[in-house]
Amino acid sequence: MGANGSTARKVSFGLDENEKVTVIEGVKLSEDVLRRMRESQGFDSAKPPKSKPDSHKPTPIPTGSSSTEIQEELRKDFERQQALVQEQLSRLAQRERETAVTAGLDDLTPALLIEKGKAHEEQAKVKMLARQLERKEKELESISCFYKDQLETLEKKTLHCSRLAQQYMNCVQQAKSALTNHG
């Protein structure tokens, strides 16, 4: 099915309202293929028969057949392969829906998912801020203990200095009284 210049392409698939798989984008069909598809719709409007898993192999082309018979065989083979791919894609889509339902994401809209993500971010931020607050409280507690110790030390030094000053005053008083008594 390739031609000289054919390359691999990414194709997006989707489901229509009848849950049939359709190609959304990524495939460009030639005029010849489109014409054959239109002709095949005129010949066969019924659903293509379901193929067996191992029937995806192309059927051998009978020798000595006319070009219309060959084209008809190719068209039927193409339809069988297309039906097989469609069936596999619908099974895959069903499996994805079931997975989404079991994950609980089927009921969530995109806006709700965004809101849920924001709430998760806010919770993480709250936890981080709570840890920072705890660290700051511990730091403040240690600073408070340090200042209490410094205050006690200053009070002790003040009392010591007061005693020294009192002793000094007593010495001065004694010296004055000794000088006034002698003199």
Give tens-digit pLDDT for 102-113: 766 555 677 888
Listed range (51-60, 66-75, 85-94) with the worst mean pLDDT: 51-60
Cα–Cα separations (whole angstroms), residue 38 to 28, 31, 32, 67, 113? 16, 10, 10, 18, 43
pLDDT at residue number 36:
78
In the predicted structure, residue 99 carries a pLDDT above the cut 70: yes
In the predicted structure, residue 1 carries a pLDDT above the cut 90: no
pLDDT at residue number 123:
94
pLDDT at residue number 22:
58
* pTM of the predicted model as reported, rounded to 2 decimal places: 0.32
Q: What angle do CA 24, 28, 32 make, to 5 degrees?
A: 130
Half-sphere exposure of 158 (CA within 13 A, CB side): 6
Encoding tokens for residue 105?
A: 């994401």
Listed range (73-77, 123-127, 132-136) with the worst mean pLDDT: 73-77
Is the distance from CB of 56 to CB of 84 less than 8 angstroms?
yes
Return mean pLDDT, the chain: 78
